[in-house]
Amino acid sequence: MDFVCEKKDLQSAVSAVEKIVTTRSTLPIIGNILFEAGKGSLQISANNLEIGIELGIKAKVNKGGAILMPAKTLGGIVAKLPNRSVGFKLSEKGTIKVSYDQSYFNVHTLPPDEFPILPKVKAGKSFTIDVETFSSMIRQTIFAVSASEEKYVLTGVLLETGKGSIPGDTSNIRMVSTDGYRLAKRGEKIKTPAAETISVIVPGRALQELVRLIDGEEGEAEVKVVVSADQISFKCNDVYLVSRLIQGQFPDYKQVIPKKSATKITVETKALLEASERAAVIAAGSANIVRFEVKGEKLHLAASTPDVGSIDEIVPAEVVGEKKIQVSFNIRLITDLLKAVETERVVIELTEVLGPGVIKPEKKDNYIYIVMPIRTQEAA
């Protein structure tokens, strides 16, 4: 095995696949990264048995072959290399010479025979979606998954295709996430939908890795998604990611979406985010509770913590409906959403003191965020 590549390409690929490598495993071999050199191409991959990633980078291949290199050692070496061409040459003793300028490393390698092969999901339902749309859908739902393994089914995002069952929903692909306290739903109408209906739960971590890998793809790049009974794969240019699916029953999100509201409040997204972050400073000492109160044409965000202080933040708003209403929320759940919204203004819909709040991007019907209220003394 003998090849030459550029340090920046190598570092980008190694750091990407290294993030899924686990050293806490009863199978030590998955702590390595697989290098496969062929005719004019170099494939770098990692597999932790839950998620597998394969990336292709440009390389001048003088002699093909495949080897395993320890991820931690390799990552450390590549990060410190000068920004120029790097040569890799395997010796008969099983060490690989990593050379740059007149200097070099010698790194011990392993044969790839026992490394778990990255599954290729071939037979299954599939669809194609452009990178920009898919990245946006992931970013607007991924933050609402559960961090608790006790609610394992909620650590994933529901991905479904086909006709929407909610009145007014014209989407043919949807992503939904919830942790039991909030719910995010994003829909889209894509040109090449799946021929068959899909409804699967994709691990949140797999989607986090995917959006990180495809975010930099330029032009009109597309992602091909293939789904089998227990796996899902994503292919975009030289990026390939495969993941196990979460088996289980996702909650019926349709039952959670309120059918009407008493008050609609339209505010600037940036202004509300900044106000929420200031209120969060005080609310941090009182379980992140912030009271949202409508007074005429203004939205007040109020919080207080004993021995710390209080805040009354006023945000200009356009109010339709009931002009006097108040609901308390965990402000962290609000700021999470506002950081993901892509429109200049959002609409907040409130029903009653203990009813869920609904936040939507202004003039956009494809995204809805529902957050459960917090019972406070004022509410009681």
Q: Which residues are CB-neighbours of 83 under 8 A, at least 6 positions away?
A: 7, 8
Comparing CA positions, the residue from 375, 174, 189 lying closest to residue 291 is 375
DSSP 114-165: TSPPPP---SSEEEEEEHHHHHHHHHHHHTTS---GGGGGGGEEEEEES---
CA distances from 339 to 265, 342, 343, 350 (A): 18, 8, 11, 20
User: In whole angstroms, what is the distance from residue 217 CA to residue 353 CA?
Assistant: 45
| C-beta atoms surrounding 327 within 10 Å | 25
Contact 329, 374 (CB under 8 A): yes
Displacement of CA 225 from its chain's centroid (Å): 16
For tokens 């009931």, the residue is 322
Q: By three-state DSSP, how is residue 380 classified?
A: coil
What confidence score (pLDDT) does residue 81 get? 95
Beta bridge mates, 300: 293, 314
What pLDDT, on the 0 to 100 scale, is given for residue 377?
A: 64
> Could you tell me the domains of the chain?
2-108 (3.10.150.10), 125-254 (3.10.150.10), 258-371 (3.10.150.10)
Q: What is the pLDDT of residue 39?
A: 82
CA distance 257 to 278: 29
For 32-53, the three-class secondary structure string (H helix, E strand, C coil) is EEEEEECCCEEEEEEECCCEEE
Q: What is the pLDDT along the chain (380 residues), one digit of tens a residue?
A: 999 999 999 999 999 999 999 867 778 899 999 999 998 789 999 999 999 999 999 999 999 999 999 999 999 999 999 999 999 999 999 999 999 999 999 999 999 999 999 988 877 899 999 999 999 999 999 999 999 988 999 999 999 999 887 877 889 999 999 999 999 999 999 988 888 899 999 999 999 999 999 987 766 899 999 999 999 999 999 999 999 999 999 999 998 888 888 899 999 999 999 999 999 999 999 999 999 999 988 999 999 999 999 999 999 999 999 888 899 999 999 999 999 999 999 999 998 767 899 999 998 889 999 999 998 765 44
Q: Minimal CA–CA distance to 177: which of 210, 207, 198, 150?
A: 207
Chain center to CA of 69: 28
The answer to whether 193 and 127 are in contact (CB under 8 A) is yes
Angle between helices 131-142 and 204-214 (to 10 degrees): 140
Q: Looking at residue 378, what is its pLDDT? A: 54
List strands edge to edge, sheet with 103-108: 60-63, 2-6, 85-90, 95-100, 103-108
Give whole-number Cα distances, 182 to 144, 304, 336, in Å.
7, 23, 11
